[in-house]
Structures are given as structure tokens and as C-alpha cells.
Amino acid sequence: MSPAAAAAVQPGASLRAVAVTRRFGGITALDGVSLELRPGEVHGLIGPNGSGKTTLLNLLSGYYEPSEGAIALGNEPLERAPVQRRARLGIGRTFQKPRLLPTLTVLENTMLGAWPHARAGFVETAFGLPRAAREDQAARSRATELLHGVGLGHALARRANLLEHAEQRFLEIARALAARPRFVLLDEPAGGLSTDEIDHLGGILGTLREAGIGVLLVEHHTDFVFRVCDRVTALDLGRMIREGTPAEVRHDPEVIRVYLGA
Amino acid sequence: MSPEHRRLGLAALLALGAATLPFWAADQYQLHLATLIAAYWVLIGGLNLVVGYAGQLSIGHVGLLSIGAYGFAILAGKAGLHPALAVAASGALCGIAGLLLGLPSLRLPGFYFAMATMAVALIVGEVVLAQGELTGGGVGLPVPGFPAPFDSPAGFYWLTAAAAAAVTWLTWNVARRMQGRGLIAIRDSVVTAQAVGVPVLGAKLRAFVFSGVCAGVGGSLFAALQSYITPDTFHFELSLFFFVCIIIGGRGGILGPFLGVVVLTALPELVSPLAKLGNFFYGLLLLAVVLVVPEGIGRVFELVAARLKPRPVESVPVQPDLPRLARALRSNR
Amino acid sequence: MLSALVAGLATGAVFAATALAYNVMFSTSKVLSVTTGHLPMLGGVAGAYVIAGLGLPWWLGLLAAMGTGALFGLLTELVAIRRVLARSDEHLWLLSTLALATMVQQAVGLWWGTEPRPFPRLIPQDFSAGLADQKFWLPIALAVAMAGGLELFYSRTMAGKLFVAMSEDAFAARARGIPTDRIRVASYALAGALGGLAGFAAGQLTFAYFALGLTLTLNGFIALAVGGLGSNVGALIGGFALGLLNALASYWFGGEYQQTIAVGLLMVVLLVKPEGLLGSKQVRPV
């Protein structure tokens, strides 16, 4: 997040959804759901299709506003904050279907993620003032490190539209990390990944946890979620049915009914 | 030689050729043509950020050219301002016009916005015709030239070429840095642009204002080159021409659109059957590019080069380096 | 003043007809084609050529107008829409239809000439008929008939209902076995024929003029946006409103600011109600 934002939010602050409800026309996608994402914690969000997982993620990241309830980062209310403001406050995300800039390279796509740290504006950049070049260089080296870190070091100069599916997913994660986020919200990052790739993803999530980043993991792969998460929230038809440790959630009778009975 | 070096090399060669052009141009007509291309590029280079990078479908920039041209003619001619001042004022005026042009772009989706920009171009034409006392109406206005040493054809060419070089340098700086990536994000995935924090409307407006200033300066130089302007000079087809140069040259590049301008301006002059076809030729070329190589002719060269030097895309499994990742994440808090 | 109003309604009718053609093509392809305004232009030119140029009877001119329009509609679908829809880039169709529109305008200009040429009388009538002159009521009657006809087509005929199904959810329609590709082709041919017919009816008002296309594309679009994308009644209202506004403004302030007024109207409506007067909120302009 940007230096100014870092000063504004106290360390250790959680990203919270408090009793949020979201309606679309006549449909209630989320009904009174609360969730707390703490720094240094991997929090899983599971539920069948239509349970409201992505809606909740969109509410936290700012693409929707809640019909009722509150979104907050620490003490700072966020319901009205647009997506860009949340990015500056250190909330990053990936998408269910990877959204990349196809004509740019992997490295350039990742560097884009460092936007909140680019202070040099349009005029300053146009006139070739040194700050823009400096920031670009810093973004480039950081992006290089991140890409090697997630396993894309071999593809730095490749155009993004030539990437395989797993590479696209990992690129999105690297891009989210380029902004030095406090929180990363991942929308079904394991979708379409092989077993090995899912293991790698788990390793990356562990590293994020150790770095003190709060990770929200929206996923269908329930085994994976129970394996890597510290806490899990289970949704069904827009309502929260259980929140707790993986062990608690996986043995909850309601959760079992929803997943096995469905 | 990497593609980047190849491009820089080609650009350097072009720059050299452009700088020495008055010495090797065959006749005054070719010099005039080169000056015209340079004046067009002053506008199109700026427009490139709006169309080629930010992906905004602005087909009304002939209106801005017109404001720049008439602004210069009126300020330097009727009001007697020094031409340098008149160019600056014209640029500023057009910058504001560019801002107004870009404002609807957030609310209006693609086709709507394109139509709105087309309407703006026609409105400018209407106003120019209607305000006869100021603009000379249908009769037009004479345009004063620049003082020495820019009053000779070669001198004026160097002035215009310098302006074109300046626009190229400014846009190149923006394009290769974060600002340029932000614009490309707006073009290819607004959702991504928002997610990384790009202020979409603000970034678009900055590009529009910049393109406006360029149009104002380009329009002034264009007017001085023509030495007499009438409303007919600024027909809507010119807007199409600007837009087509960028699309054909390839969005997301600078060299491509520049070559586009050169080829599309020079070709009808040199190949006279094409001149008769006029806009039919531009339309045909645009259609061909859109259907066959939508990324523009610049991309064709890249693809051909890739064919000639095949580098098999090895399928390397993703292999994270977790300690390195941890270090990278640590290195900033 | 009355003559200004009638003239305004008549030009408005041409805008309305263009807006109707937009609707027909949009319903099946979700594309707003820049070539739409060129359909009436082609109708007028074809009609004038066949009747005045070749000396053939008026109904052959009518067939020529509709046929030329339909052919150009088919060409648009084949060349500018079909291949482009398959690609993911949203705005390619704007470029391809813009390219095709430029080509057809220039081609007609080269062949027919760049001066507006007179369109022949269709029904024997004195030129001193004043307000009852057919150049006014032909386009007005046709525009209303077209809108009514389209509504009947959509609600009463099987083919029309397929159009509606496709416009509401093309994916579901295809899943139910509806031949969406063929319907799209048919819709472009239909829009072409209707546009050509409108140009034929309005020829005495607009003259046979190659540059009409772009003006109609823009003004027809303004009528469409004001009335609401997807609404045929809205197209009529938008068209007539625009025509009347232009005529009244000309009458009171002189004819110099027509385009400015048209865009002004559009901006006001879009600011207040972005989906147009009768547009539905769900139909988000693509």
C-alpha cells in the first residue's frame, strides 16, 4: 500500500465485513454475513455455487457496496471507498477468471501492480524527470523478485497472452503482491491447477502468512482449504453456516449436509 | 538484436533522415509534404495516448485541429500576437477542449462515446461557419507565418519537425513508464486498472488534455503551413484519417502509428490512382487490418520476426522459490 | 411555422427509421453498426438511379432500394460483424463497421457524384401542394408503419418471436436449438431492406446524396439514444423530437446550430436518464 496509507492504518488492524447484506433486485445474495480477516492469517471461504462467496469478496474489495452492514479496515469504514482507495490501503485481489493485459510481458503486468507506489504523475513522467525512472526501476526489481518467488522466473519477458493457465494464476498473485498489500483476496486461485501446482500455491500462501499478510482464500477445493487455512467460513445461500478452525468447520453437521446432501 | 533495440535503431535512423531532410528532398513539394506529415504527427502523436494506449474511441479530433488552427489564425493574425504566443495560447485552449471532449468518456460506453466525439467535430465545424465575423465563415482566414528563421520552407520544416520530435519524446516517456501501463490497463481491462489503484477517469482526462494541447500546437503549425484555412479544410474524414493511422500502425506503440502517418499521407500523393480513391482506400485498409491483423501492422513485423527466429516456448513447470518470495515480501515494510 | 413543424417531423421520421434499423440489428448482434445511416442513403440513390436514371417504373425503384439495402445489410453482417464477433476485443466491430461505412460512402460518391441529385416524384402531385407534399408525409407514414410493423412482427409471427428470444438471451436461445447465426443474418438483411425503403420514401426530402450516410448514422443514433435502445416506440419519439427540435431551432434562431442542438438534446436526456426515455435499465448500452 502507499506510504501515506500505511501511516493512516494501525498495524494489526483487521479487514472486516460486519453483518453485510447485499441484494440484487429481488435476490438476496448475502444476508447478514460477518467475516474478519486478520493479518498473518489465511482465512478460507467456502460454499456451493451461488452461496455468495464472490459477492463477499467483491464487497471487501470494493466492486460492490453493501445494501446493509459495514466494511471496515481497523477503525476506518470502507463501505463507500472505491476500489482504487482500497488498493491504496493495501487490499489486493485476484480474479476468478484471470484478468491480464495480453499485449504486455509478464514482468510489465506485474509492475503494474505497484501502481499505488508510483508517485510520479503524468506531466512529471512525460518530461522525463528522474523520479519516474527511479520508481520504474524499483518496481522492476521488486516484480522480478516476486515473479521468481512465485515460480515465473522463466517467463519474465513472455507476452501475457502466451501463458498457460497456471502461469496466469500465479502472475495475478505476483501482481497483487507488487503493491505491498496488507491483505490479499484470492478468488478461486486453485481453479484449473494440477495437484503439484496446488501444492505450490499452498507453499506461497504459507509464505504470505509468515510475511504477515492476511489472505482470504475463496475456494471450491475444500480439501485444500482445510489443509492450508487457519480459519474457515462456510456460506450457503448467502448465509454463514459455520465459522471456525478447519477441524470445527469440516465436522460441522450443517456443513456436511450442505456439501454431501447437495 | 532484441526487438527493443531494433525499434530504437530504426527510430534513430528515422530521426537522422528527418533532421537532414531539406538537404536530400527532391523538391519543394516533397519538403511541403514532409512538413505536413510532421504537423499531423504533432496531433496524432498526442492522440496516440488516447486511442492507442487508453483505448478511447475518439473520432472527433479534427475538431480540435480546427480549434487549434483557427485559434492560431485569429490570435496571430487578427489579434496580432507573436506567433509563439499564439501557438501556446492555442495549445492551452485546445487542452481545455480536450478535457471537455474526454469528460463524457466515463459515463458513455464505447459506441456512444465515439458518436459523441463525432458530433463534437461537426459542432466545431458548425460554430466556425456560424461565427463568421471571428472566423471568416465560409470564406476562411489567411494565416500568418512565423518570423525568421522559420519563414523559409526549410526553416518552417525544422520548426515543425522539432515539435514532432518533442511530442514523440513526451509520449515515449509516458508510454514506457507506469503511467503508460496504467493507460493500457484502462484499455484492456478496466477492472484490473481499478484493482491496482489506477484512477480511471483522472488518467483518461490527463491523456485527453495532453492530446488536446498537441492538437492545438499541431493545428497552429498546420494552419501556418496551409497559409489559408477554410472550414472545408477540416472535414470529418480527416478525423478518420488520424484514427486509422493509429489503428493500422498498431495500438500500444509509437513507431507503428508514426509509420502509419507517413505511409498514409505519402501514399496517395505518390500513387495517383490511390489519390482518386481517397477515403475508400483508408476504409479498405482499416477493414483489412481489423479483420486480419487487429493489432496493427507493427505487430505483423514482430510475428514475422518470430517466425524467422523460432524460439520454442518451452513448457516449464511453475516452481516457486519460497525463500526468495519471503525476502521480497520482507524488503519493504 | 407550421411548415417548419411538418418539415421537422418529416426529417425526424428519417431519423426514426434509422433508429429502427439500429434496433433490428442490435437485437440480434448487440452491435451498433456505423453503417446504419448508409442504408437510407443507398435506398435513395438506388431509387433515383432506377427511376430517374434508367426510366423504369416506381415499383422497380422501390425493389431496387430495398434490395440494395438488404444486400448491404448482408454484406455488413458477413464482412464486418461475423468474424469480428468471434474475437474478444469489444470494439473491433466499431472499427470494422466504420471502415465499411467509409468505403460505401466513398464508392457511392465516386459512382453517383458528390452533389445531391434530385429524387423523382413517386406519386403524381403538383409541386405547389405545400404541406401536403408527399415528400413530407411519405417518410412520416413509413416510419410509423415500420414501427407498427416491427411490433406486430415481434409479437405475432414465429420469426419475430425468435428475434425477441435471441435478443433477450442469445446463449439460452442457442442452447434451445434456435439457429442464432441465421437469425442474425436475416436481421441484417431485414434492417437493410427497411433502411433502404425509408431512404426511398424520404428521397424527395433528402435528395439522393452520397454524404447522407454519416449524418444519418449520427442523428439516427441520437434518436435511438434519446428514445431508448431497444424500444421501437422510443425510436419514433426520439426521431420526431429531434426533427422537431432542429426545425424549431432553425425557425427561431437560424439553421446554423443544428448539430449543436441535436447533441445538446442528447446530453440532456442522457444526463437525466442514461438509458433513454423508454429504454429499460437492464439493456445496458454495449
Domain positions in chain A are: 3-104+173-261
Position B82 in a domain = yes
Contacts of B111 in chain C (CB under 8 A): 32, 94, 221, 285-286
Sole residue written with cell 530504426: B10
Number of H helices, E strands in chain B: 17, 2
Window from B235-249, B303-317, C37-51, C224-238 with minimum mean pLDDT? B303-317
Mean pLDDT of C151-171: 86
pLDDT tens for each residue of C125-137: 777 767 777 788 8
Does residue C285 have a pLDDT over 50? no
Higher pLDDT, B82 or C265: B82
Higher pLDDT, C216 or C80: C216
Subunits touching A (CB < 8 Å, at least 3 pairs)?
A: B
The interface residues of chain A toward chain B in range 201-230, judged by CB-CB distance below 8 A, are 203-204, 206-208, 210-213
Q: Which of C102, C218, C266, C267 should one mutate to test binding to chain B, selecting the residue with the greatest count of B CBs within 10 A?
A: C102
Does residue C69 have a pLDDT over 80? yes
- Domains in chain B: how many in total? 1
Residue B1's pLDDT band (cuts 50, 70, 90):
low
Mean pLDDT of B230-234: 90
**Of residues C80, C107, C222, nearest to B280 (C-beta):** C107
Inform me whether the C-beta atom of residue A148 falls under 8 Å from chain B C-beta atoms: yes
Window from A17-26, A229-238, B143-152, B184-193 with minimum mean pLDDT? B143-152
Question: Minimal Cα distance from A107: which residue of B?
Answer: B181
Question: Bridge partners of A15?
Answer: A37, A73
Q: Half-sphere exposure of A144 toward its Cβ, with a 13 Å CA cutoff?
A: 7
Q: What pLDDT score does B63 carry?
A: 94
pTM equals 0.91
pLDDT tens for each residue of A30-63: 999 999 999 999 999 999 888 899 999 999 999 9
- Chain B nearest-CA distance from A252, in A, is 34
Between A130-150 and B178-188, two packed helices, what is the crossing angle to 10 degrees? 60
Position B225 in a domain = yes
Position B200 in a domain = yes
Higher pLDDT, B139 or B307: B139
CATH superfamily of A3-104+173-261: P-loop containing nucleotide triphosphate hydrolases (3.40.50.300)
- Rounded to 10 degrees, the C-alpha dihedral B165/B171/B172/B175 comes to -170
Position B253 in a domain = no
Task: Answer yes or no: is the ipTM higher than 0.85.
Answer: yes
Burial per residue of B307-330, b for 16 or more beta-carbon CB atoms within 10 angstroms, e otherwise = eeeeeeeeeeebebbbebbbebbe
Q: What pLDDT score does B138 carry?
A: 83
Mean pLDDT of B123-142: 87
Contacts of B276 in chain C (CB under 8 A): 110
Domain that holds residue B33: 26-234
Q: What pLDDT score does C84 carry?
A: 81
The interface residues of chain A toward chain B in range 6-35, judged by CB-CB distance below 8 A, are none
Position B303 in a domain = no
Residue A39 CB neighbour total at 10 angstroms: 18
Residue B5's pLDDT band (cuts 50, 70, 90):
confident
**Of residues A115, A149, A175, nearest to B325 (C-beta):** A149
Residue C103's pLDDT band (cuts 50, 70, 90):
very high
Does residue A261 have a pLDDT over 70? no
Position B258 in a domain = no
Window from A144-153, B183-192, C56-65 with minimum mean pLDDT? C56-65
Interface contacts A/B by beta carbons within 8 Å: 171
Higher pLDDT, B154 or A261: B154
Residue B272 CB neighbour total at 10 angstroms: 8
Question: Minimal Cα distance from B196: which residue of A?
Answer: A113
Does residue B297 have a pLDDT over 90? no
Contacts of C95 in chain B (CB under 8 A): 247, 286, 290
- Chain A nearest-CA distance from B173, in A, is 5
Q: What pLDDT score does C165 carry?
A: 85
Under 8 Å between Cβ of B112 and B58: no
Q: What pLDDT score does C88 carry?
A: 61
Residue B312's pLDDT band (cuts 50, 70, 90):
low
Position B76 in a domain = yes
The interface residues of chain C toward chain B in range 54-113, judged by CB-CB distance below 8 A, are 79-80, 83-84, 87, 89-92, 94-96, 98-103, 105-107, 110
Under 8 Å between Cβ of C61 and C51: yes
Does residue C284 have a pLDDT over 50? no
Give the mean pLDDT of chain C: 87
Question: Bridge partners of A186?
Answer: A217
Does residue B97 have a pLDDT over 90? yes
Position B38 in a domain = yes
